[in-house]
Every structure is written in C-alpha cells, then in structure tokens.
Amino acid sequence: MNTQLKKGNLIQFYLIQSILRRNSLRQLRTKPNHHYNDKYRTRNTKEDNQQDDLFLYKGKGQHLLTNQRILDSIVRNSSINPTDTVLEIGPGTGNLTLKLLDVASKVVAVEIDKRMVGVLNKRVKEHGFEDKLSVIRADALKAEFPKFDLVVANIPYGISSPLVAKLVYGANPFRSATLLLQKEFARRLLAKPGDSEFNRLAVNVKLVADVEFVMNVSKRDFVPVPKVDSSVVIIRPKDRIPDVNLDEWWAFTKHCFGKKNKTLGATFKQKKKVIELFRLSKLTSSNGEEMNRNQYVCADDDGDNEEESDGEECHSSSCADRELLLFKEKIIEVLKAGSFEDKRPSKLCNEELLYLLSMLNQSGIYFHEQTKPRNVDDVAFAAAYS
C-alpha cells in the first residue's frame, strides 16, 4: 500500500514538473530578444492549403487584417466598378487582395517583401485570379505607379504621411483612395481648424482633396495585434484646386505650423525667420540678383566683432540692418492689414491661409526660391511633414 502511494506521489510530482517545464518553455519562446523583438510567427489558413510559417515584422508595419466582415465593408465602401483598376499598397498575404480581385477588373499590388509576394501569388493562383493581378515588388514611396482608378489599401503605419502626400499630389489622377490607417493618424487627416489634432498635414491634404471618415477598426482584428486601433477613411481628390504655387504653399505652411499655436505676429517677428524670408525675397525679386550673403550673416551677429573693419564693411552691415528692419515692418504691416497678427495657424482655414499667402507674395515676401526647379522625387515629403 505504501509503495503504491509513493508511486502515485511520484507520478503526480513528475506531471506537475512537466507542466511547469512546458509553461516555462512557452514563456521563453514568446519573450522578446534582440533577434526577434519585432517578429511574430503566423501560419496561413488551411482553407488556402498553405502550411508555410511566416514571420511578420511589427517594426515594418506588417499587421494583417483578418476580420472578414471588416474586409467586406472596406471593399463595399470603395464603390469599385467591374472595369476599375485598383492600386493596393502593402497587400501582405492577400486577405484584401482576393476580395478586390473578385469585384475589380485588375489589381496592381505594390509589396516590398518578397516572402509576402510568394504567398500572395500562390493564393491568387489557387483562386484563379492570376490573370487579374499585377505585382510590383518595390518600395511604395519610390515606385512609379501605373495608371489606376482607385486605391484600396491597409497602409503600413510608418509610411502613412509621405504615402498619402504622394497619392494626392502625384501625377496619376484617381477617383478615390480607401485607406486603413492608424486611428491617431486618421484623426489628424480629418481634423478641422481649432481641433487639437489640426496640423500641417491636414492643411496640405485638404488643399487638393476631401477626407471622409468611414469606420474604426479594433486592433484585435489584426495579426499580430498592433498597439493601437485603426480607422478607415476615404480621400477624394477635388475637381478644382486653388491656383497657388505648390512649392510656395508647402514652404509657407511649414513656416506657419512650426509653432501652430503661436500667433503669426510672434512667429514672423523672430529675427531668424525675418532673415530667412529676407534672403528668399531677395532671391525671388524682380531683378533676380542674389544678395550678398555677408549682409544677412552680419545682421544676425549678436556678438561684438573685435576685428577691425573698414568703413565700407560697417556701412554694408548698417545698411543690412536697416533693410532687415524695413522688411520686418513690411511683414507686420501685411499681417495687420489682414487682421492676422494676433491669429494662430491652428485656428485658420485654408481659405484664410491662402489669402494671407497671397497678400505676402504681393508685397514681395516669399517662402520658397522661385527660380529653384522642383524636385519631383521630394514632392511627397515636402507636402507631408509638419
């Protein structure tokens, strides 16, 4: 009897040890380390007969939307016609792609990860859609997009801002872009003057497009689960946009929204900003002659120059000081004339900002070197960041 009890106790002891050991190993496997701290392992569904393991990189924004109801809703809200070509950016393993292929004439998918491309092509072929899919394996920010009618995509969080700018300011016309974005980013796009989220990005996008909220998406609908929730928005390019020099507009909004809650009077009275605008205005003046760099460098010198200078140099510096003072007064006069001196950029709508820019330009105050040719590759980045 005692022997049986001892055996029973030993069996129970080893079972407990085995369970504890298994739990410990599970914790070790899921504990982040310097090799896999942003990787997540997933297995494709049996429905698609895929058995390959795939590491997803959270740091690269690889979060796959798996909720079929949300996927269907995105496609439905996109209003895709049977003749449409749809551009999808970051298709991943194809959960959204398959639904797009079912209703569109063609899908152009831009994916940088060759592993994803392999899985995507395999799944699409199994569903008989291979003739309707064109895959571009490239960085979406650098890739040249072919012609398309619509954009429908789950955008990687890390490239949301420049990618949205690339779409709305790009050379390809399109009807609408239905985008799944980080919720906080979507709120910035949707923000109105006076909202705490209102920023330069919203101002630049709304100059050329309208943004509509569709729905929120829980982080639990993704694999792996991201840290934040998402939102779906639809961006529709405007039929008519204001007649404004875009380089000048982007530079102007950058100046204004550097401190968006500061009054415009306080912003444009800063010595450093006055000197910068003074130089740009000289460069873009009617005679096109570049000013002497020493003039505005000397004027920005707050220290005493112990080196001896001849009368001509002193006279030059003195002239520069007077020119800067007159230029500063001209800026303030424009602000006062339009009742903008005490207003803050965060509370101004696009119409007001356009009016202010027009007044400043008419007075010979510029924010971008007009003679400098535009670098097309930098358009998205110039428009995106606040």
Point out the annotated binding site for S-adenosyl-L-methionine. 63, 65, 90, 111, 139, 154
Sign of the CA dihedral 379, 383, 385, 386?
A: positive
Provide the annotated binding site: 63, 65, 90, 111, 139, 154
Number of H helices and E strands in the chain, helices first, is 14, 11
Bridge partners, residue 236, by sequence: 210
Helix%, strand%, coil% for the chain, nearest 5:
50, 15, 35
Place of tokens 């999808």: 88
226 touches 63 (CB < 8 A):
yes
Ramachandran angles phi, psi of 50, nearest 5°? -105, 130
Task: Please give the C-alpha separations between residue 259 and each of 31, 202, 253, 256, 386, in angstroms, as whole numbers.
Answer: 41, 15, 11, 7, 10
248 touches 357 (CB < 8 A):
yes
For the chain, strand residue ranges (E) read 39-43, 53-57, 64-65, 85-89, 106-110, 133-136, 150-154, 176-182, 209-217, 222-223, 230-237
d(CA 79, CA 67): 20
Structure-block tokens of residue 60: 């690269």
Sequence-ordered alpha helix ranges (H) in 60-113: 68-77, 95-103
172 touches 147 (CB < 8 A):
yes
The sheet carrying 209-217 orders its strands as 133-136, 106-110, 85-89, 150-154, 176-182, 230-237, 209-217
d(CA 96, CA 178): 12
71 touches 96 (CB < 8 A):
yes
d(CA 188, CA 386): 11
